[in-house]
Protein backbone atom coordinates (compact mmCIF):
# COMPACT_ATOMS: atom_id res chain seq x y z
CA UNK A 1 0.00 0.00 0.00
CA UNK A 2 1.27 3.42 -0.87
CA UNK A 3 2.08 5.31 2.31
CA UNK A 4 1.60 9.05 2.77
CA UNK A 5 4.55 9.37 5.10
CA UNK A 6 7.39 11.40 3.67
CA UNK A 7 10.91 10.13 3.17
CA UNK A 8 13.15 12.32 5.24
CA UNK A 9 16.86 12.91 5.08
CA UNK A 10 19.29 11.98 7.78
CA UNK A 11 21.32 15.17 7.79
CA UNK A 12 20.59 17.18 10.94
CA UNK A 13 20.44 20.95 10.84
CA UNK A 14 23.01 23.01 12.70
CA UNK A 15 22.76 26.32 14.45
CA UNK A 16 23.47 29.30 12.22
CA UNK A 17 25.92 31.37 14.18
CA UNK A 18 27.64 30.46 17.38
CA UNK A 19 29.16 33.89 17.37
CA UNK A 20 25.77 35.48 17.96
CA UNK A 21 23.77 33.03 20.05
CA UNK A 22 24.17 29.56 18.55
CA UNK A 23 25.91 27.54 21.24
CA UNK A 24 25.80 29.98 24.15
CA UNK A 25 23.85 28.67 27.17
CA UNK A 26 20.78 30.80 27.89
CA UNK A 27 22.11 31.71 31.32
CA UNK A 28 25.02 33.43 29.61
CA UNK A 29 22.99 35.13 26.90
CA UNK A 30 22.07 38.76 27.30
CA UNK A 31 18.82 40.08 25.98
CA UNK A 32 19.59 41.98 22.78
CA UNK A 33 16.55 43.14 20.84
CA UNK A 34 18.83 44.34 18.05
CA UNK A 35 20.29 40.85 17.56
CA UNK A 36 17.62 38.19 18.15
CA UNK A 37 18.63 34.51 18.02
CA UNK A 38 18.80 32.79 14.65
CA UNK A 39 18.41 29.02 14.24
CA UNK A 40 18.71 26.96 11.08
CA UNK A 41 16.37 24.06 10.36
CA UNK A 42 16.08 21.87 7.28
CA UNK A 43 13.85 24.39 5.49
CA UNK A 44 15.87 27.51 6.26
CA UNK A 45 16.72 30.05 8.92
CA UNK A 46 14.37 31.15 11.72
CA UNK A 47 14.48 34.37 13.74
CA UNK A 48 13.21 33.90 17.28
CA UNK A 49 13.51 36.11 20.35
CA UNK A 50 14.73 36.00 23.91
CA UNK A 51 12.03 35.83 26.58
CA UNK A 52 14.27 36.80 29.48
CA UNK A 53 16.81 33.94 29.39
CA UNK A 54 14.67 31.55 27.35
CA UNK A 55 14.89 31.19 23.59
CA UNK A 56 11.46 31.27 21.94
CA UNK A 57 10.58 30.36 18.35
CA UNK A 58 6.87 30.65 17.61
CA UNK A 59 4.68 29.82 14.63
CA UNK A 60 7.23 27.49 13.05
CA UNK A 61 5.70 25.62 10.07
CA UNK A 62 6.18 21.85 10.29
CA UNK A 63 4.08 20.85 7.27
CA UNK A 64 1.83 22.22 4.58
CA UNK A 65 -1.40 20.94 3.04
CA UNK A 66 -1.90 21.54 -0.70
CA UNK A 67 -5.69 21.46 -0.45
CA UNK A 68 -8.45 20.68 2.03
CA UNK A 69 -8.54 17.04 3.23
CA UNK A 70 -5.09 16.23 1.75
CA UNK A 71 -2.25 14.63 3.66
CA UNK A 72 0.48 16.91 5.07
CA UNK A 73 3.57 17.52 2.96
CA UNK A 74 7.01 18.92 3.67
CA UNK A 75 7.36 22.70 3.83
CA UNK A 76 9.26 24.11 0.89
CA UNK A 77 12.62 25.71 1.80
CA UNK A 78 12.56 29.49 2.07
CA UNK A 79 15.08 32.15 1.24
CA UNK A 80 16.55 34.46 3.84
CA UNK A 81 15.46 34.47 7.47
CA UNK A 82 11.86 33.67 8.42
CA UNK A 83 10.34 35.37 11.47
CA UNK A 84 9.33 33.00 14.25
CA UNK A 85 8.36 35.64 16.79
CA UNK A 86 4.56 35.33 16.79
CA UNK A 87 2.15 32.43 17.07
CA UNK A 88 0.97 30.93 13.81
CA UNK A 89 -2.70 30.67 12.82
CA UNK A 90 -4.85 28.13 14.64
CA UNK A 91 -7.27 25.68 13.08
CA UNK A 92 -10.75 27.12 12.44
CA UNK A 93 -13.35 26.00 14.97
CA UNK A 94 -17.14 26.31 15.23
CA UNK A 95 -18.38 29.78 16.15
CA UNK A 96 -17.92 30.57 19.84
CA UNK A 97 -20.70 32.93 20.95
CA UNK A 98 -21.06 32.27 24.67
CA UNK A 99 -18.77 32.80 27.65
CA UNK A 100 -17.74 29.62 29.46
CA UNK A 101 -18.53 29.10 33.13
CA UNK A 102 -14.84 28.52 33.75
CA UNK A 103 -13.65 31.77 32.17
CA UNK A 104 -12.68 33.43 35.45
CA UNK A 105 -10.26 30.68 36.44
CA UNK A 106 -9.47 29.32 32.97
CA UNK A 107 -9.46 32.31 30.61
CA UNK A 108 -9.33 31.49 26.91
CA UNK A 109 -7.32 33.16 24.18
CA UNK A 110 -8.83 33.05 20.71
CA UNK A 111 -6.51 33.74 17.80
CA UNK A 112 -6.27 34.17 14.04
CA UNK A 113 -7.86 31.16 12.34
CA UNK A 114 -6.63 29.72 9.06
CA UNK A 115 -6.76 26.28 7.50
CA UNK A 116 -3.01 26.57 6.94
CA UNK A 117 -2.47 25.86 10.64
CA UNK A 118 0.34 23.31 10.76
CA UNK A 119 2.72 25.17 13.05
CA UNK A 120 4.46 24.64 16.37
CA UNK A 121 6.11 26.70 19.11
CA UNK A 122 9.44 26.01 20.81
CA UNK A 123 10.96 27.19 24.09
CA UNK A 124 14.49 26.16 25.02
CA UNK A 125 17.41 27.10 27.24
CA UNK A 126 20.14 26.38 24.68
CA UNK A 127 20.74 26.46 20.96
CA UNK A 128 23.33 23.73 21.04
CA UNK A 129 23.16 20.60 18.89
CA UNK A 130 25.10 18.68 21.54
CA UNK A 131 22.89 19.63 24.50
CA UNK A 132 20.54 16.62 24.15
CA UNK A 133 17.82 17.99 26.44
CA UNK A 134 14.56 16.05 26.93
CA UNK A 135 11.82 17.23 24.58
CA UNK A 136 8.26 17.69 25.91
CA UNK A 137 5.60 17.99 23.22
CA UNK A 138 2.18 19.22 24.36
CA UNK A 139 -1.03 18.28 22.51
CA UNK A 140 -3.88 20.64 23.37
CA UNK A 141 -7.39 19.75 24.49
CA UNK A 142 -10.77 20.71 23.10
CA UNK A 143 -11.68 17.22 22.00
CA UNK A 144 -10.96 16.84 18.30
CA UNK A 145 -13.22 19.82 17.57
CA UNK A 146 -11.86 22.90 19.34
CA UNK A 147 -8.77 24.29 21.00
CA UNK A 148 -5.30 25.38 19.96
CA UNK A 149 -1.74 25.48 21.23
CA UNK A 150 -2.34 28.97 22.65
CA UNK A 151 -5.94 28.70 23.83
CA UNK A 152 -4.83 29.14 27.44
CA UNK A 153 -2.07 31.26 28.91
CA UNK A 154 -1.31 28.12 30.93
CA UNK A 155 0.10 26.57 27.75
CA UNK A 156 3.03 29.00 27.67
CA UNK A 157 6.17 26.85 27.63
CA UNK A 158 8.77 29.32 28.89
CA UNK A 159 8.51 28.58 32.61
CA UNK A 160 8.48 24.80 32.20
CA UNK A 161 11.52 24.94 29.92
CA UNK A 162 13.35 27.12 32.42
CA UNK A 163 12.28 25.14 35.49
CA UNK A 164 13.14 21.74 34.07
CA UNK A 165 15.89 22.66 31.58
CA UNK A 166 13.88 20.93 28.86
CA UNK A 167 12.77 21.80 25.33
CA UNK A 168 9.02 22.48 25.28
CA UNK A 169 7.00 22.28 22.06
CA UNK A 170 3.28 23.00 21.54
CA UNK A 171 1.47 22.03 18.34
CA UNK A 172 -1.44 23.18 16.15
CA UNK A 173 -3.11 20.73 13.78
CA UNK A 174 -6.34 20.22 11.83
CA UNK A 175 -9.51 19.65 13.85
CA UNK A 176 -13.23 18.91 13.34
CA UNK A 177 -14.47 18.59 9.75
CA UNK A 178 -11.07 19.62 8.37
CA UNK A 179 -9.20 16.87 10.18
CA UNK A 180 -11.69 14.05 10.63
CA UNK A 181 -14.33 13.92 7.87
CA UNK A 182 -14.35 10.45 6.28
CA UNK A 183 -14.59 10.91 2.53
CA UNK A 184 -12.90 7.60 1.71
CA UNK A 185 -16.06 6.33 -0.01
CA UNK A 186 -15.56 8.98 -2.71
CA UNK A 187 -12.11 8.13 -4.02
CA UNK A 188 -8.57 7.02 -3.17
CA UNK A 189 -7.36 10.59 -2.73
CA UNK A 190 -9.51 10.75 0.43
CA UNK A 191 -8.19 7.48 1.84
CA UNK A 192 -6.91 9.10 5.03
CA UNK A 193 -9.20 12.12 5.33
CA UNK A 194 -10.86 10.62 8.43
CA UNK A 195 -7.47 10.80 10.17
CA UNK A 196 -5.92 13.89 8.55
CA UNK A 197 -5.58 15.52 11.96
CA UNK A 198 -3.63 12.50 13.22
CA UNK A 199 -1.43 12.65 10.12
CA UNK A 200 -0.65 16.28 11.04
CA UNK A 201 0.52 15.17 14.49
CA UNK A 202 2.78 12.54 12.98
CA UNK A 203 4.19 15.16 10.60
CA UNK A 204 4.87 17.44 13.58
CA UNK A 205 6.70 14.65 15.40
CA UNK A 206 8.72 13.90 12.26
CA UNK A 207 9.71 17.56 12.00
CA UNK A 208 10.68 17.56 15.68
CA UNK A 209 12.75 14.41 15.19
CA UNK A 210 14.60 15.95 12.25
CA UNK A 211 15.14 19.46 13.64
CA UNK A 212 14.98 19.55 17.42
CA UNK A 213 18.74 19.11 17.91
CA UNK A 214 19.14 22.65 16.61
CA UNK A 215 17.16 23.79 19.67
CA UNK A 216 19.17 21.72 22.13
CA UNK A 217 16.74 18.80 22.11
CA UNK A 218 17.30 15.06 21.99
CA UNK A 219 15.31 13.49 19.12
CA UNK A 220 15.62 10.15 20.89
CA UNK A 221 13.97 11.38 24.08
CA UNK A 222 10.60 12.85 23.17
CA UNK A 223 7.71 12.86 25.65
CA UNK A 224 4.23 13.62 24.37
CA UNK A 225 1.72 14.91 26.90
CA UNK A 226 -1.85 15.98 26.34
CA UNK A 227 -4.91 16.90 28.37
CA UNK A 228 -8.55 15.99 27.67
CA UNK A 229 -8.77 15.67 23.88
CA UNK A 230 -4.99 16.00 23.92
CA UNK A 231 -4.86 12.88 26.10
CA UNK A 232 -6.95 11.13 23.46
CA UNK A 233 -4.40 12.25 20.87
CA UNK A 234 -1.59 10.76 22.95
CA UNK A 235 -3.42 7.42 23.14
CA UNK A 236 -4.15 7.56 19.42
CA UNK A 237 -0.48 8.13 18.58
CA UNK A 238 0.37 5.01 20.59
CA UNK A 239 -1.94 3.22 18.14
CA UNK A 240 -0.30 4.82 15.10
CA UNK A 241 2.37 2.69 13.38
CA UNK A 242 3.83 5.78 11.66
CA UNK A 243 4.74 7.26 15.08
CA UNK A 244 7.27 4.51 15.79
CA UNK A 245 10.60 6.00 16.81
CA UNK A 246 9.07 9.44 17.31
CA UNK A 247 7.60 8.93 20.81
CA UNK A 248 9.57 7.65 23.81
CA UNK A 249 7.35 8.52 26.79
CA UNK A 250 3.69 9.52 27.10
CA UNK A 251 1.43 11.33 29.57
CA UNK A 252 -2.38 11.25 29.39
CA UNK A 253 -4.13 13.92 31.46
CA UNK A 254 -7.90 13.55 31.89
CA UNK A 255 -8.16 11.93 28.47
CA UNK A 256 -9.43 8.70 26.97
CA UNK A 257 -9.48 6.97 23.62
CA UNK A 258 -12.70 6.87 21.62
CA UNK A 259 -13.11 6.53 17.89
CA UNK A 260 -15.55 7.10 15.07
CA UNK A 261 -16.87 3.94 13.45
CA UNK A 262 -16.53 3.61 9.68
CA UNK A 263 -20.29 3.32 9.32
CA UNK A 264 -21.01 6.48 11.30
CA UNK A 265 -18.17 8.38 9.69
CA UNK A 266 -19.45 7.68 6.20
CA UNK A 267 -22.99 8.64 7.23
CA UNK A 268 -21.68 11.96 8.52
CA UNK A 269 -20.00 12.59 5.16
CA UNK A 270 -23.15 11.62 3.25
CA UNK A 271 -25.35 13.90 5.33
CA UNK A 272 -22.82 16.74 5.14
CA UNK A 273 -23.06 16.65 1.35
CA UNK A 274 -26.85 16.52 1.50
CA UNK A 275 -27.03 19.42 3.98
CA UNK A 276 -25.06 21.50 1.47
CA UNK A 277 -27.33 20.50 -1.40
CA UNK A 278 -24.62 18.37 -3.00
CA UNK A 279 -24.51 14.74 -4.13
CA UNK A 280 -21.65 12.25 -4.30
CA UNK A 281 -20.61 13.43 -7.77
CA UNK A 282 -19.92 16.88 -6.30
CA UNK A 283 -17.62 15.88 -3.45
CA UNK A 284 -14.84 18.04 -4.94
CA UNK A 285 -16.89 21.10 -4.05
CA UNK A 286 -16.32 20.38 -0.36
CA UNK A 287 -12.77 21.62 -0.88
CA UNK A 288 -13.95 25.15 -1.60
CA UNK A 289 -17.13 25.55 0.48
CA UNK A 290 -16.52 28.43 2.94
CA UNK A 291 -15.47 26.95 6.27
CA UNK A 292 -18.40 28.13 8.37
CA UNK A 293 -20.89 26.76 5.84
CA UNK A 294 -19.02 23.46 5.84
CA UNK A 295 -18.76 23.13 9.60
CA UNK A 296 -22.42 24.00 10.12
CA UNK A 297 -23.48 21.33 7.63
CA UNK A 298 -21.09 18.81 9.16
CA UNK A 299 -22.11 19.55 12.75
CA UNK A 300 -25.74 19.08 11.73
CA UNK A 301 -24.75 15.80 10.11
CA UNK A 302 -23.16 14.62 13.36
CA UNK A 303 -26.39 15.48 15.19
CA UNK A 304 -28.44 13.57 12.62
CA UNK A 305 -26.31 10.45 12.97
CA UNK A 306 -26.37 10.77 16.75
CA UNK A 307 -30.16 10.82 16.70
CA UNK A 308 -30.34 7.86 14.33
CA UNK A 309 -27.90 5.69 16.27
CA UNK A 310 -28.63 6.79 19.81
CA UNK A 311 -24.93 7.44 20.33
CA UNK A 312 -22.88 10.58 20.74
CA UNK A 313 -21.31 11.09 17.32
CA UNK A 314 -18.73 13.88 17.20
CA UNK A 315 -15.32 14.52 15.72
CA UNK A 316 -12.68 11.95 16.57
CA UNK A 317 -10.20 9.71 14.73
CA UNK A 318 -11.22 6.49 13.02
CA UNK A 319 -9.76 3.03 13.50
CA UNK A 320 -8.76 2.11 9.94
CA UNK A 321 -6.15 -0.54 10.91
CA UNK A 322 -3.69 1.34 8.75
CA UNK A 323 -2.94 4.82 10.03
CA UNK A 324 -4.70 4.08 13.37
CA UNK A 325 -5.00 0.56 14.78
CA UNK A 326 -7.35 -0.99 17.35
CA UNK A 327 -4.66 -2.01 19.82
CA UNK A 328 -1.56 -0.25 21.06
CA UNK A 329 1.27 -0.74 18.55
CA UNK A 330 4.00 -3.25 19.41
CA UNK A 331 6.50 -0.40 19.72
CA UNK A 332 4.29 1.26 22.36
CA UNK A 333 5.06 -1.59 24.76
CA UNK A 334 8.43 0.06 25.41
CA UNK A 335 6.95 3.51 26.10
CA UNK A 336 6.52 4.43 29.79
CA UNK A 337 3.02 5.82 30.35
CA UNK A 338 1.53 8.14 32.96
CA UNK A 339 -2.28 8.45 33.18
CA UNK A 340 -4.35 10.53 35.60
CA UNK A 341 -7.31 12.78 36.21
CA UNK A 342 -8.37 15.59 38.51
CA UNK A 343 -10.76 15.37 41.43
CA UNK A 344 -13.85 17.00 39.93
CA UNK A 345 -13.29 17.28 36.16
CA UNK A 346 -16.66 18.44 34.75
CA UNK A 347 -18.34 18.14 38.18
CA UNK A 348 -16.43 21.00 39.76
CA UNK A 349 -17.87 23.84 41.82
CA UNK A 350 -17.70 25.93 38.63
CA UNK A 351 -20.57 23.91 37.18
CA UNK A 352 -22.63 22.44 39.99
CA UNK A 353 -23.52 23.36 43.57
CA UNK A 354 -24.29 26.79 44.96
CA UNK A 355 -20.81 28.17 45.63
CA UNK A 356 -20.91 27.49 49.37
CA UNK A 357 -20.24 23.76 49.61
CA UNK A 358 -17.81 24.21 52.52
CA UNK A 359 -20.71 25.61 54.54
CA UNK A 360 -23.21 22.84 53.80
CA UNK A 361 -24.82 21.13 56.76
CA UNK A 362 -24.96 17.36 56.93
CA UNK A 363 -28.57 17.55 55.77
CA UNK A 364 -27.62 19.66 52.74
CA UNK A 365 -24.83 17.25 51.82
CA UNK A 366 -27.20 14.29 51.93
CA UNK A 367 -29.85 16.17 49.94
CA UNK A 368 -27.37 16.83 47.14
CA UNK A 369 -26.11 13.24 47.13
CA UNK A 370 -29.66 11.87 47.09
CA UNK A 371 -30.50 14.15 44.18
CA UNK A 372 -27.81 12.49 42.04
CA UNK A 373 -27.45 9.02 43.57
CA UNK A 374 -30.77 8.20 45.19
CA UNK A 375 -30.67 5.27 47.58
CA UNK A 376 -26.88 5.00 47.28
CA UNK A 377 -26.35 8.40 48.88
CA UNK A 378 -25.66 7.23 52.42
CA UNK A 379 -23.31 4.44 51.31
CA UNK A 380 -21.45 6.90 49.08
CA UNK A 381 -21.01 9.35 51.96
CA UNK A 382 -19.61 6.59 54.18
CA UNK A 383 -17.28 5.22 51.51
CA UNK A 384 -16.06 8.67 50.49
CA UNK A 385 -15.03 9.38 54.10
CA UNK A 386 -12.90 6.21 54.06
CA UNK A 387 -11.19 7.03 50.76
CA UNK A 388 -10.70 10.76 51.40
CA UNK A 389 -10.49 11.34 55.17
CA UNK A 390 -8.82 14.70 54.47
CA UNK A 391 -11.80 16.04 52.49
CA UNK A 392 -15.09 17.47 53.79
CA UNK A 393 -18.25 15.42 53.36
CA UNK A 394 -19.61 17.80 50.71
CA UNK A 395 -16.72 16.94 48.37
CA UNK A 396 -18.31 13.57 47.65
CA UNK A 397 -20.88 15.41 45.51
CA UNK A 398 -18.10 16.78 43.29
CA UNK A 399 -16.08 13.59 42.80
CA UNK A 400 -15.60 12.63 39.13
CA UNK A 401 -15.97 8.87 39.42
CA UNK A 402 -16.45 8.30 35.68
CA UNK A 403 -13.05 9.81 34.91
CA UNK A 404 -11.40 7.67 37.57
CA UNK A 405 -12.89 4.57 35.95
CA UNK A 406 -11.65 5.74 32.56
CA UNK A 407 -8.14 6.11 33.98
CA UNK A 408 -8.30 2.58 35.42
CA UNK A 409 -9.45 1.18 32.07
CA UNK A 410 -6.62 2.89 30.19
CA UNK A 411 -4.04 1.67 32.70
CA UNK A 412 -5.34 -1.90 32.51
CA UNK A 413 -5.24 -1.80 28.73
CA UNK A 414 -1.61 -0.68 28.71
CA UNK A 415 -0.63 -3.27 31.32
CA UNK A 416 -1.86 -6.05 29.05
CA UNK A 417 1.20 -5.61 26.85
CA UNK A 418 3.95 -3.44 28.29
CA UNK A 419 7.66 -3.71 28.91
CA UNK A 420 7.76 -0.26 30.49
CA UNK A 421 6.45 1.10 33.79
CA UNK A 422 3.01 2.66 34.11
CA UNK A 423 2.13 5.44 36.56
CA UNK A 424 -1.10 7.04 37.75
CA UNK A 425 -2.10 10.22 39.57
CA UNK A 426 -5.07 12.14 40.95
CA UNK A 427 -4.85 15.92 41.24
CA UNK A 428 -7.17 16.81 44.14
CA UNK A 429 -5.99 20.24 45.31
CA UNK A 430 -8.83 22.67 46.13
CA UNK A 431 -7.96 26.28 45.36
CA UNK A 432 -9.00 28.90 47.96
CA UNK A 433 -11.05 30.78 45.36
CA UNK A 434 -14.80 31.45 45.20
CA UNK A 435 -15.55 29.70 48.47
CA UNK A 436 -13.37 26.75 47.47
CA UNK A 437 -12.85 25.69 43.84
CA UNK A 438 -12.50 21.94 43.47
CA UNK A 439 -10.01 20.66 40.89
CA UNK A 440 -11.70 21.37 37.57
CA UNK A 441 -11.05 19.94 34.11
CA UNK A 442 -7.74 21.46 32.83
CA UNK A 443 -6.53 22.87 36.15
CA UNK A 444 -3.46 20.64 36.59
CA UNK A 445 -1.94 22.14 33.43
CA UNK A 446 -1.28 25.36 35.34
CA UNK A 447 0.98 23.38 37.64
CA UNK A 448 2.45 21.02 35.04
CA UNK A 449 3.57 24.03 32.97
CA UNK A 450 4.86 25.75 36.14
CA UNK A 451 2.73 28.80 35.34
CA UNK A 452 1.17 29.74 38.69
CA UNK A 453 2.97 33.08 38.54
CA UNK A 454 1.26 34.28 35.33
CA UNK A 455 -1.14 36.97 36.65
CA UNK A 456 -4.20 35.93 34.63
CA UNK A 457 -3.61 32.35 35.84
CA UNK A 458 -2.70 33.08 39.47
CA UNK A 459 -6.32 33.85 40.31
CA UNK A 460 -7.26 30.23 39.51
CA UNK A 461 -4.88 29.00 42.21
CA UNK A 462 -5.20 31.64 44.89
CA UNK A 463 -1.49 32.31 44.51
CA UNK A 464 -0.82 30.70 47.87
CA UNK A 465 2.33 29.10 49.20
CA UNK A 466 0.60 25.74 48.72
CA UNK A 467 0.03 26.50 45.03
CA UNK A 468 3.67 27.40 44.42
CA UNK A 469 4.88 24.31 46.27
CA UNK A 470 2.44 22.16 44.31
CA UNK A 471 3.60 23.45 40.93
CA UNK A 472 7.16 22.45 41.81
CA UNK A 473 5.91 18.95 42.62
CA UNK A 474 3.73 18.50 39.52
CA UNK A 475 6.14 20.09 37.04
CA UNK A 476 9.00 18.28 38.76
CA UNK A 477 7.26 14.94 38.26
CA UNK A 478 6.50 15.66 34.61
CA UNK A 479 10.10 16.75 33.96
CA UNK A 480 11.64 13.78 35.76
CA UNK A 481 9.38 11.43 33.82
CA UNK A 482 10.56 13.07 30.57
CA UNK A 483 14.19 12.78 31.63
CA UNK A 484 14.26 9.26 33.06
CA UNK A 485 10.91 7.54 32.60
CA UNK A 486 10.25 7.78 36.36
CA UNK A 487 8.31 10.71 37.89
CA UNK A 488 9.80 10.23 41.36
CA UNK A 489 11.62 13.18 42.88
CA UNK A 490 13.38 14.05 46.12
CA UNK A 491 11.05 13.47 49.09
CA UNK A 492 8.20 12.38 46.78
CA UNK A 493 8.62 8.76 45.68
CA UNK A 494 6.15 7.67 43.00
CA UNK A 495 5.75 3.92 42.63
CA UNK A 496 4.54 2.30 39.39
CA UNK A 497 0.93 1.23 39.02
CA UNK A 498 0.41 -2.53 38.67
CA UNK A 499 -2.60 -4.81 38.81
CA UNK A 500 -1.31 -6.12 42.13
CA UNK A 501 -0.41 -2.72 43.60
CA UNK A 502 -2.50 0.17 42.27
CA UNK A 503 -0.29 3.03 43.35
CA UNK A 504 -1.54 6.55 42.69
CA UNK A 505 0.18 9.86 43.32
CA UNK A 506 -2.24 12.28 44.98
CA UNK A 507 -1.29 15.89 44.36
CA UNK A 508 -2.75 18.04 47.12
CA UNK A 509 -1.72 20.26 50.03
CA UNK A 510 0.05 17.14 51.25
CA UNK A 511 1.09 15.10 48.22
CA UNK A 512 2.03 11.45 48.36
CA UNK A 513 1.87 8.07 46.68
CA UNK A 514 -0.97 5.92 47.96
CA UNK A 515 -3.33 3.10 47.05
CA UNK A 516 -6.62 4.93 46.78
CA UNK A 517 -8.98 1.96 47.05
CA UNK A 518 -11.88 3.88 45.51
CA UNK A 519 -13.29 0.98 43.45
CA UNK A 520 -16.31 0.55 45.75
CA UNK A 521 -16.96 4.30 45.74
CA UNK A 522 -16.82 4.40 41.94
CA UNK A 523 -19.21 1.46 41.66
CA UNK A 524 -21.70 3.06 44.05
CA UNK A 525 -21.64 6.25 41.97
CA UNK A 526 -21.79 4.70 38.50
CA UNK A 527 -23.34 1.23 38.62
Strand partners, 54: 51
Helix (H, G, I), strand (E, B) or coil at 400: coil
pLDDT at position 451 is 97
Strand arrangement, sheet containing 503-507: 49-51, 54-61, 119-124, 167-171, 133-139, 217-227, 249-253, 337-342, 422-427, 503-507, 512-515
Q: Phi and psi of 294, rounded to 5°?
A: -65, -45
pLDDT at position 101 is 86
Distances (CA, A) of 28 to 23, 54, 291: 10, 11, 47
Cα–Cα distance for residue pair 400/408, rounded to 1 Å: 13
E-assigned strand segments in 379-445: 422-427
pLDDT at position 14 is 32
Helix (H, G, I), strand (E, B) or coil at 490: coil
Cα–Cα distance for residue pair 230/139, rounded to 1 Å: 5
Interval 320-362: pLDDT, tens: 999 999 999 999 999 999 999 999 999 999 999 999 999 999 9
pLDDT at position 39 is 97
Q: Which residues contact 131 (CB under 8 A, 6 or more apart)?
A: 216, 217
C-alpha 263 chain-centroid distance: 27
Q: pLDDT by residue for the chain (527 residues), tens digit each?
A: 334 443 333 333 333 333 333 333 444 355 677 889 999 999 999 999 999 999 999 999 999 999 999 999 999 999 999 999 999 999 999 998 888 888 888 989 999 999 999 999 999 999 999 999 999 999 999 999 999 999 999 999 999 999 999 999 999 999 999 999 999 999 999 999 999 999 999 999 999 999 999 999 999 999 999 999 999 999 999 999 999 999 999 999 999 999 999 999 999 999 999 999 999 999 999 999 999 999 999 999 999 999 999 999 999 999 999 999 999 999 999 999 999 999 999 999 999 999 999 999 999 999 999 999 999 999 999 999 999 999 999 999 999 999 999 999 999 999 999 999 999 999 999 999 999 999 999 999 999 999 999 999 998 999 999 999 999 999 999 999 999 999 999 999 999 999 999 999 999 999 999 999 999 999 999 99
Q: Which residues contact 326 (CB under 8 A, 6 or more apart)?
A: 239, 319
Interval 185-215: pLDDT, tens: 999 999 999 999 999 999 999 999 999 999 9
Cα–Cα distance for residue pair 378/371, rounded to 1 Å: 12
Cα–Cα distance for residue pair 498/468, rounded to 1 Å: 31
Q: If we measure between CA atoms, which residue out of 257, 300, 278 comes closest to residue 409? A: 257
C-alpha 479 chain-centroid distance: 16
Q: Is 168 within 8 Å of 160 (Cβ atoms)?
A: yes
DSSP 272-331: HHHHTT--GGGGGGGGTS-HHHHHHHHHHHHHHHHHHHTS---S--B--SSSS-SSPPGG
Cα–Cα distance for residue pair 150/171, rounded to 1 Å: 9
Q: If we measure between CA atoms, which residue out of 351, 495, 369 comes closest to residue 422? A: 495
pLDDT at position 149 is 97
Cα–Cα distance for residue pair 250/227, rounded to 1 Å: 11
Cα–Cα distance for residue pair 93/115, rounded to 1 Å: 10
Are β-strands 249-253 and 217-227 bridged in parallel, bridged antiparallel, or unpaired? Answer: parallel
Amino acid sequence: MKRWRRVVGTMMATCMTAAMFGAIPAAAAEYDAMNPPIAEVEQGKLRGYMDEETYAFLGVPYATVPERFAMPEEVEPWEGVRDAQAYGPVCPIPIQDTVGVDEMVWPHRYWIQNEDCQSLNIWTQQLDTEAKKPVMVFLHGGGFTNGSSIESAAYEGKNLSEFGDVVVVTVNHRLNVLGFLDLSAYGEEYQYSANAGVADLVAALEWIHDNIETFGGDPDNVTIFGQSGGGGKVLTLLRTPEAEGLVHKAIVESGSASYMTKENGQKVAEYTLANLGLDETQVEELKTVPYYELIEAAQDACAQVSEETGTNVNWRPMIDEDLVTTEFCDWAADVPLMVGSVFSEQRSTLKIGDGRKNEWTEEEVMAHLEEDYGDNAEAIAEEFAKVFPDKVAADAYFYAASNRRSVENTLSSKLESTNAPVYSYLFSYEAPVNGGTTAFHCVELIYAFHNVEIPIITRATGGTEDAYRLQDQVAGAWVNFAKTGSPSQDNLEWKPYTEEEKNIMRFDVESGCTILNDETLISLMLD
